[in-house]
Amino acid sequence: MSQSPHTVDNPFTGDVAASVEPTPPEALDAVLERARAASRALRALSVEDRVKLVLRACEAMEKDTESIARDITRQMGKPLSQARGEVAGMAGRLRHMAAIAAESLADIILPPKDGFERRIAKEPLGVVLDLPAWNYPLLTAVNAIAPAVLAGNAVIVKHSPRTPLCGGHFARAFAEAGAPDGAVQALFLDYPRTEQLVGDARVDHVLFTGSVLGGHKMQAAARERFLHIGLELGGNDPAYVAPDCDLDKAVENIVDGAMYNAGQSCCAVERVYVHRSLYERFIAAAEPLVRAYVLGDPESDKTTMGPIAQPWHPAELEAFVQDATGLGARLVTGGRPTQVDGRGRFFEPTLLRDVSPQARLMREESFGPLLPVAPVDSDEEALALMNASRLGLTASVWTSDRERADRLARELEAGTIYMNRCDALDPALPWSGVKDSGRGVTLSALGFDALTRPKARHYRLRF
């Protein structure tokens, strides 16, 4: 029985932005067999040839920057300028991983031992299932695709229902680059079919980017298998504004870190603790910056904040605000769902002060343009509050004292600790979370580890 097409609305216009036919169940076998064959072909290529392949695919996607960016904007609503920036960021990650592939994937040769040769080879796993997220549909996809293909694996991309067309851009680029047939395939499946794919023995690794609930579902889907699932999950990322910081720069960067992409980022700044000596100045400086965002048509160059991607989410964001104010927080600006000229599902850029540590905003991921702020009296109080969440993706410390940053970094429970920056990713550094923010690593030289299998070679050269 054929399934009905899956449609996605444009978050600004309400028009149909995408309509895709789900991959029929009977086609999954062919998809998997093509991937298995492609993985063998990729494995047979030298690392140098895989690097050339990935760079050609990168060029193919860059050539289509404008159409890819508009595709992203129409499906999930981010301003077109930010969507173009995502294409550029994706290319940067591809190129970095390609640049470090030869060294990262080289055999580890152990020190000589009389009469023996010992080395550790890094072999590809086979087929990688990539389940990216809609908020950064290229960046969350490339975190798996780049190291997987460079290591010699084939990739099946099953993209989010919000951005179902984005996986196809990678598949077309790799085909244009001359990749083996099936090296990168894109399909669209509902959850039961995705669960079936996760449980299939022909899939050797899964990387899921999404919610904590989604991560639990992926683990449950693999319960009958000894399968490693990489999980890049949510964040409730804190910032601490220490008394010795450059306050103007801190405010500017923190507001941007909270509001960029309408706050729909797993590493957005979601809560801020400001030393009491700077607290009133911080609020006074942040308010005009929050008010300055221009909501509107995301395809207009004048727009600096687009609509909220998911239809139900503005009401959820309002519930976060009401919970905080019910616990004593003061609303400085924003706080409500809104439209622009009767169109779009927007949420007002929001600044709250005096937010209780018991508020949901200080404990859970809100995923919207909300900036809750609370005062603290010491580094120790800031540290305790920053760690008082079940999520641990990133944390930022705003200070002019490197030793203070190091001292806090040793105790902060997060995968990435920033000093004087936030909401940023460097592909030379590992991307990982702790606690409910996930497990596993993508990017950097360590990003190849989960996508390869160490094989020991222990040779006796003479008796």
Residue range 92-107, pLDDT digits in tens: 999 999 999 999 999 9
Other beta carbons less than 10 A from residue 193's beta carbon: 18
Name the phi and psi angles at 431, rounded to 5. -110, 115
SS3 for 177? Answer: coil
pLDDT-derived band at 386 (thresholds 50, 70, 90) equals very high
Number of helices (H), then strands (E), belonging to the chain: the values are: 13, 22
**Fold equal for 6-233+437-460 and 237-426:** no
* CB-based contact 351:341 (threshold 8 Å): no
CATH topology of domain 237-426: Aldehyde Dehydrogenase; Chain A, domain 2 (3.40.309)
d(CA 7, CA 69): 19
pTM beyond 0.85: the answer is: yes
DSSP 398-463: E-S-HHHHHHHHHH--SSEEEES--S---TTS-B--EETTEES-BSTGGGGGGGEEEEEEEEE---
pLDDT exceeds 80 at position 1: no
What is the model's pLDDT at position 2?
Answer: 61
pLDDT-derived band at 463 (thresholds 50, 70, 90) equals confident
pLDDT in tens, 214-234: 999 999 999 999 998 999 999
Query: Would you name the residues annotated as active-site residues?
Result: 232
Distances (CA, A) of 1 to 15, 23, 24: 28, 12, 9
What is the model's pLDDT at position 158?
Answer: 97
d(CA 188, CA 194): 9
Tokens (6 digits) for 386: 């920053």
What is the model's pLDDT at position 3?
Answer: 75
pLDDT in tens, 419-440: 999 999 999 999 999 999 999 9
* Summary mean pLDDT of the chain: 97
* Bridge partner list, 19: 7
Tokens (6 digits) for 455: 């094989």
SS3 for 20? Answer: strand
Tokens (6 digits) for 56: 């050609």
Give the residue extent of every domain in the chain.
6-233+437-460, 237-426
Share of the chain above pLDDT 90, in %: 97
Mean pLDDT score, 121-128: 98
pLDDT-derived band at 244 (thresholds 50, 70, 90) equals very high
CATH topology of domain 6-233+437-460: Aldehyde Dehydrogenase; Chain A, domain 1 (3.40.605)
What lies within 8 Å, CB to CB, of 222 at 6+ separation is 198, 199, 206, 229
* CB-based contact 8:17 (threshold 8 Å): yes
pLDDT in tens, 327-377: 999 999 999 999 999 999 999 999 999 999 999 999 999 999 999 999 999
d(CA 165, CA 228): 27
Mean pLDDT score, 392-405: 98
pLDDT in tens, 26-60: 999 999 999 999 999 999 999 999 999 999 999 99
d(CA 33, CA 344): 43
pLDDT in tens, 165-206: 999 999 999 999 999 999 999 999 998 999 999 999 999 999
HSE value, Cβ hemisphere, 13 Å, CA-based, for 419: 14
pLDDT exceeds 70 at position 207: yes
